[in-house]
Structure 1
Amino acid sequence: MERNRKALVVFSGGQDSTTCLFWAKQHFDEVEVVTFKYGQRHIEEINCAREIANDQGVNHHVLDMSLLNQLAPSALTREDQAIIQEEGQLPSTFVPGRNLLFMSFAAVLAKQIGARHLVTGVCETDFSGYPDCRDIFIKSLNVTVNLSMEEDFVIHTPLMWLDKEQTWELADSLNAFDYIRTKTLTCYNGIKGDGCGTCPACELRRRGMEQFLMKKGEGLR
């Protein structure tokens, strides 16, 4: 890929967005990250994102999107809602409009900081059925934000067609496997690293890691 000046990574401090951060640092001359505060269950997510950004030496923006909690309550934003994932239905963790708003606001911020490239860790392979993680949505939104601001943004989705095994493989190729395993927070219960081990996010993450390590000829370490 041709190198370009600057990229902005939508960053939660989780496995996927941190993999995207390492990917962006390899492909762009300058990288900044943006984290959204939208009433998520655990403040640890924002703290984790801040710690990783500081550790990686990238400028970290935190934008207040708390109105999203009021408009679109879900199990990710309300502790009184159970985390449920039933076949044929959207998980209770789905936050309607989240990626629509996040990517739109990220584009506004990107314009202010002079970043033409936006990077997000959305994925259509292991996406739990979230409609705003689909490739068709991202392509549509890319056109929309460009038209809305008369800009030429490019939205990159390095994980779009990867399952969790392949995401771990990408992290390993970026020399970031151990870092991402220990420093990131994916767990719905707010536990860093390997997490609680029982929530849907932890199960998906662990299963992918086990598959990757088996493929690589290593046991779970």
Structure 2
Amino acid sequence: MVSVMVLLPLSGCVSMFALMGLCFAVAIKDQHVNSFANLPAGAHKLAFPLVAQDTTMPDMGARAAPVIIVTGAFISLLYVFYYAQSLTVNLTFARLRKQNLQSKDKQRVKLDDVKYGTAGGRNVLAANRTVGNTLEQAIPFLASMWMHAVFLNVRRATFIGWIYIATRLIYPLVFVLNVKTGGAAIFASTLPGYACVLALLAPVLLDAADVSIDL
């Protein structure tokens, strides 16, 4: 039973991480090179919104490719965290159960104690907070990135989106290190993430308010 509890989330974690890597590989190879093939004459490729005058649905789909890839990578990363959370809980439960058997303790630890209680310790807490914090920030990030791409600049939204994913990747590590640094390490992930959301959202709001900005 323990082997299945470990292998299932482990396989899910590896497969979703591979999918995220595939998204990154596609982005690196610039498979969306033709995304801007149908721009009007004289249009600036790096400052062109997803939706523009006389934009057709095929054109819009092609131009959206970079942001779609980032979105796919983010969703893949979220599922990596889901599976890693399950894997951490199951491994911790197996370790504690083994300790119970070796010590012949009559009060055996239950899976619920590890998954929903405090018996799992710091590692389970780190896995839970990684999932929780990523979910908490998912809507602000995705909404801001897509609004930026639709109304302002596809390429810039894509670039900032990849930076945001990088800040998410290091969250589990800095959470574990947080104990040793007195709570400062976590800011290495959260503050750059907040800055990315602000960089995506603020220009859209300023543009909606007809405030002139030079980006």
TM range (shorter): under 0.3
Higher relative CO (Cα under 8 Å, sequence separation at least 6) belongs to 2
Structure that is richer in strand per residue: 1
Higher helix proportion (structure 1 or 2) = 2
- TM-score, normalization by structure 2: 0.26
